[in-house]
Amino acid sequence: MKKIYENLDIEEKKELIELIYKISKETTYNSFHYNAINFIKKCKIDTNIDDIISRIEEIKKIS
């Protein structure tokens, strides 16, 4: 996924990150959230991952 991200233009990169955050709010699969965090860190994307981490904690309470 990192290679795909690197080949996107700026607007497409922004849309991809927005999509990741949107999916993280809707899904209850923790593995998606951990993969999203790892992807963001690998690509050195300047964004706040606190929302994703909060969602992980929220899902833990549900389970």
pLDDT tens series, the chain, 63 aa: 899 999 999 999 999 999 999 999 999 988 999 999 999 999 999 999 999 999 999 998 886
Question: For the whole prediction, is pTM greater than 0.85?
Answer: no
CA 46 vs CA 13, 19, 26: distances in Å: 11, 15, 22
Report the distance separating Cα 30 and Cα 19, nearest Å: 16
Total domain count for the chain? 1
Residue type at 30 in one-letter notation:
N
Structural domain of 45: 2-62
Total number of residues shown for the chain: 63
